[in-house]
Amino acid sequence: MHANFGWLDALILGLVQGLTEFLPISSSAHLRILGPLLPGHADPGAAFTAITQLGTELAVLIYFRKDVWRMLTAWLASLPVIGSRRAGEPLSADAKLAWLVILGTIPICVLGLLLRDFIETTFRTLALTAVMLIVFGLLLGWAERRGSQTRTIAQLGAKDGVLLGLAQAMALIPGVSRSGGTITVALLLGMTREAAARFSFLLAIPAVLLSGFYMLLFKREPMSPDQWGMTLAATLVAFVVGYAVIVWFMRLISHKGFTFFVVYRVVLGLLILAGLYFGLIQ
């Protein structure tokens, strides 16, 4: 975190994190874009982004607490040593979903570790962020029109879990969007909008928690007490706002599609590229 980064910067970015984390518009892109425009004129850094995501992920855990509890207990019951499932007995729907989430989490964990140096440097360029906003925005619009939107989460298999995990892993590049990438592939796999969004939220839980705690435990550059305070305050703001956004988003997609988000992504990406081309932003 840059020395010029202040409390106002942190609170604004926490608000933006909460507003954008669950929408298919890339929260990391917005944090990267806003950093240089704030009073501190600084990129908050990958660590700030990862830790504030813990706040929004807590909102997911609370909103989907019943689903998460059923999945956790069913998964434990499915384990061969400590579980109660008999040999040859098929997995329950909740246990299957839990295993799919675990399977889908592997790609982002592996690639996140292998590409961590690029994530904190090369991948954070504004030009690349703008291009990803545009490209994956158009892909989201195409997927919504092409997908059959008939499959539910219960119909997913191991292959689907891997593909959705790879889709989530693309969000290591700011501008792709974790939910946007996962929802796009889910729609191409024929899932309904509601099922696609729901699975993207559940799939993000272990990945975001692991990323945030990794930064907390192994961050290379230590933060001062003030910087930790700013980060935690931003995380709290992200949690409160994020929960409200989940409620709104799940209701929205039940009646309307993703067209607004597609247009927003493309316009924002073009504005960034124009600003870079004409020297309005660095």
pTM of the predicted model over 0.85: yes
Token pair 């942190």 in the structure block, residue? 10
CA end-to-end span of the chain:
18
Instruction: Inform me whether the pLDDT recorded for 223 exceeds 60.
Output: yes
The pLDDT-based confidence of 272 (bands split at 50, 70, 90) is very high
Instruction: Inform me whether the pLDDT recorded for 186 exceeds 90.
Output: yes
For residues 193 and 49, the answer to whether their CB atoms sit within 8 Å is no
Q: Average of pLDDT values for 5-23? A: 89
- Per-residue pLDDT tens digits for 66-78: 999 999 999 988 8
Distance separating alpha carbons of residues 186 and 200, to the nearest angstrom: 9
AA letter at 4? N
Q: Average of pLDDT values for 2-31? A: 86
Average pLDDT of the chain to the nearest whole number: 88
Distance separating alpha carbons of residues 213 and 206, to the nearest angstrom: 11
The pLDDT-based confidence of 265 (bands split at 50, 70, 90) is very high
- Smallest CA-to-CA distance from 132 within 278, 268, 260 is with 268
For residues 174 and 26, the answer to whether their CB atoms sit within 8 Å is yes
